Amino acid sequence: MSVRALASALPMMEWARLYHRDTLASDLVAAVIVTIMLIPQSLAYASLAGLPPEVGLYASIAPLLLYAVFGTSRVLAVGPVAVVSLMTATAIGEHAAIGSAQYGTIAITLAFLSGTMLLLMGLLRLGFLASFLSHPVISGFITASALLIAAGQLKVILGVKIEGQHFFELVWGLISQLGKVHITTAAIGLSMVAFLFWARRGLKPLLLSWGLPTRLADALAKAGPVAGIAVSAVLTWFFEWHQTGVRIVGSVPAGLPPLSWPQWDMALWKELAVPALLISVVGFVESVSVGQTLAAKRRQRIEPDRELVALGASNVGAALTGGFPVTGGFARSVVNFDAGAQTPAAGAFTAVGILLAALLLTPALYYVPQATLSATIVVAVLSLVDLRILRITWAYSRADFSAVLVTLLVTLAAGVEAGLIAGVVLSLMLYLFKTSRPHIAEVGLVPGTEHFRNVLRHKVRVSPHLASLRVDESLYFANARVLEDRVNALVAERPQLAHLVLQCSAINDIDASALESLEAIHQRLSDAGVRLHLSEVKGPVMDRLQKTDFLMHLNGQVYLSHFQAVSDLAPEMVN
């Protein structure tokens, strides 16, 4: 295998050849900062997924190592994330009880299925499928998921028991249980929430005012969640709050991630197929969005199809090492970028740091209150809430607003899978509705120019013997009849009409149904004594038309430019 072929298969080869001491130093510093941040996140997101806290550490080791080998982003940090963790809990909760051995096995199986799907999509170069998740749908879904996650964690922070999985059930349950709040638990959880919100904005400026170097102050600020966990654990141990009803993490086994295998049950795989696909697509969209944004800041690029392979390998790696579904996280990737990471080796170094934590630090987690971990989740996910998208889409596009609103409300009321599916289905329906009614403008010549504009918007020259229609959409089965109706109406209104020119500058495709409509239009115009002409037909469209008999039977001509057509057919408009 040539070096170029090997580099294509293993993106690691591209940056490893140029790796040097300065790059190593930058990657090590970034790895330390991200490791400090990732430890509490991994514990918290495992809890969100309904899994033991150490599973979060396991899911942050092999995926990082594999992504360093196969990933094309220099700074993307792969591991557990909030939305995917919630989707994992939702998918598994239908098949096993939280805390059971079967629950963990299904989590591994889900990660394996998700990874396999991503690998297949990457090998088949199906990265474009993620485009079916529009930005409004993703925004509505992530916002609703964040609110759902936060509502679900409040019961842990307040120390109350609430039944229900959906947002409105959880909110009503919280309201009805306010009289039963566990005071000590609530004090710990709410204090942690307040501290973490303050640490995000106020801790770094405070450290800088004390004279600390910028990089050190930044690293210590990122360690805020670790400090909160440590302090709450020490206080719980010292005051024995766990004896008063404060729920703690308890024993966390230390050691290397275990070798694990998915459950080879085809019936289970069939039931997990849809959740695994949704997790795969959502994770891929989130990961690629973050990767492309950060890569653009350094004038780099990532390759979506190879990212599918990298994320697939990461999820398979998580499944084989006792983990659960993972993807590229926004917060930790931004931290990795800001900390100066130069290559994916920073992720590999982070994996080593997480491995050391799994080996050495787990005994220190015994007295960590569960309310502390829930506070970490709440603060992390609330940063994902973006209600501005409702105002923006309302002002710009009511169709996009509908997609956002439906996705948000259905996710809150019926769960993440139903919300995401509803958003995608509605987006596709709105697209079909929009494209089935294409904008068809009659255009005229702007005096003194070779430009043509809508006769209803501009003062233009027209001729009673010539009509020019510009179709601002590709022609396909859903909208072909609309063009027929418009042409029929135009001919009926213009008894002197001798020529009709279709300006095809905005037509990117004509399918078989639309071709039949064009043939029908041509026949009716011929019967009425009107010649049909085409102008500005794009090359790929012309290539397909030349494979048919349509152009041979056309009673008009195909013009390279619309101005040329008008000059030939209605010279009085030009002079």
Give start and end residues of each alpha helix (H) in 124-198: 135-158, 167-176, 183-198
Q: What is the Cα–Cα distance from 244 to 369, expressed in whole angstroms?
A: 12
pLDDT for the residue numbered 553: 92
The model's pLDDT over 8-25, given as tens digits with 9 standing for 90+, comes to 567 787 788 778 888 888
pLDDT for the residue numbered 259: 94
pLDDT for the residue numbered 13: 79
Q: Where are the domains positioned within the chain?
A: 21-425, 440-574
Residue 181 is given by DSSP the state -
Architecture of 440-574 per CATH? Answer: 2-Layer Sandwich (3.30)
- Buried/exposed 197-234: b ≥16 CB within 10 Å, e otherwise: bebeeebbeebeeeebeeeebbbbbbbbbbbbbeebbe
pLDDT for the residue numbered 433: 87
Number of residues that this document lists for the chain: 575
- Buried/exposed 247-259: b ≥16 CB within 10 Å, e otherwise: ebbeebeeeebee
Q: How far is CA 281 from CA 130, 325, 417, 490, 494, in A?
A: 6, 12, 12, 46, 52
pLDDT for the residue numbered 367: 94
Q: Mean pLDDT for each 10-residue chunk of the chain (575 residues)?
A: 55 80 86 86 92 94 94 91 92 91 95 96 83 80 91 92 85 90 94 92 87 81 84 94 92 90 94 94 88 82 89 96 93 83 91 93 90 91 88 91 92 88 87 88 93 93 94 92 93 92 95 94 94 96 94 94 94 85
Pair 162, 174: CB distance under 8 Å: yes
Pair 239, 363: CB distance under 8 Å: no
pLDDT for the residue numbered 246: 94
Q: What is the Cα–Cα distance from 331 to 76, expressed in whole angstroms?
A: 10
Q: How far is CA 253 from CA 57, 58, 362, 365, in A?
A: 11, 12, 7, 10
Q: What is the Cα–Cα distance from 558 to 575, expressed in whole angstroms?
A: 22
Q: What is the Cα–Cα distance from 53 to 251, expressed in whole angstroms?
A: 10
Q: Which two tokens stand for residue 334?
A: 């931004």
Q: Which of 160, 153, 147, 164 is nearest to 49 (CA)?
A: 153
Q: What is the Cα–Cα distance from 380 to 146, expressed in whole angstroms?
A: 9
Query: What φ, ψ does residue 212 adopt, rounded to 5°?
Result: -75, 145
Q: What is the Cα–Cα distance from 571 to 575, expressed in whole angstroms?
A: 6
Q: What is the Cα–Cα distance from 6 to 107, expressed in whole angstroms?
A: 33
Q: What is the Cα–Cα distance from 283 to 345, expressed in whole angstroms?
A: 22
Residue type, 445: L
**Kind plus residue range of the DSSP H or E element containing 94:** none
Look-up of token digits 């766990």: 242
Q: Taking the CB of residue 131, how many other CB atoms lie within 10 A of it?
A: 9
Q: How far is CA 525 from CA 35, 413, 442, 495, 533, in A?
A: 72, 54, 17, 12, 11
Q: Which of 1, 10, 15 is nearest to 344 (CA)?
A: 15
